[in-house]
Amino acid sequence: MEFWQDPQFGAKIITLMAALVLVLQILMVAQRWLVTNIRAFGVQSLLLAAVAATIAYFNHAPHIYVVAVLTLAVKAIFLPVVLERLVTKIEIRQEIEPLVNVPVSVIVTGLLTLLAYTVAESFHRPEEAVGPAALGHNVLAVAIALFLIGFFMMVNRRKALTQVLGLLCLENGLLLAAISLTYGMPLIVEVGIFFDVLVAAMVLAILIYRIRETFDSMDVSRLSRLRG
């Protein structure tokens, strides 16, 4: 059997890409430059598309190729381009001080990752860890970590743009869990969720631009000071 048809080889490739996805997520928490965060999100989405394509290849699941292509086109290319242009328009390059400083944020991220691995351990079934159908089961912890860290980014960051990135990273976690555990929900459900998140991101991007024009700031904490 050729090594590129060996499920164990596929499992190693998926695990490596999932580890890189998690490293990029931690980088986004530690990084305050907006463009760097956007590009890290783009590379993360590219890796997720590669994970989906690998699972589709070894399991002969054509509908997962659709998810991989959508992720590549929309989340790895389209959204990063749109968000980078938005950063250029609003002329704000760096995130202001988050609610929790960077060193503590990294520690919190590590704790959330540990929590994710603890939760995922309860779903581990060693007897099912052989063959193409088991591909991706070992990345559930990464999927949970992406979800938790994305939510933490939304709460911790004060610029609306990085909160949008947190939402997108949270959705990346849901996507990874769906394709790695169930090899995709029904395609119509996956596409529906995908485009719901896309529309939400685009609407939020427009709101960010309007907030910047009106209040000369993207610090959402200032909105609480508004009085009717």
Q: pLDDT by residue (tens digit) across 124-167?
A: 655 555 555 556 667 888 999 999 998 898 888 777 778 788 88
Lowest mean pLDDT among 22-26, 40-44, 142-146, 191-195: 191-195
pTM of the prediction? 0.79
Contact partners, residue 227, CB within 8 Å, separation at least 6: none
Mean pLDDT of 63-79: 86
Query: What does the domain layout of the chain look like in residue ranges?
Result: 3-91+101-214
Residue with tokens 């947190």: 166
Distances (CA, A) of 94 to 88, 109, 135, 218: 12, 21, 39, 11
Q: pLDDT category, 100, cuts 50, 70, 90?
A: confident
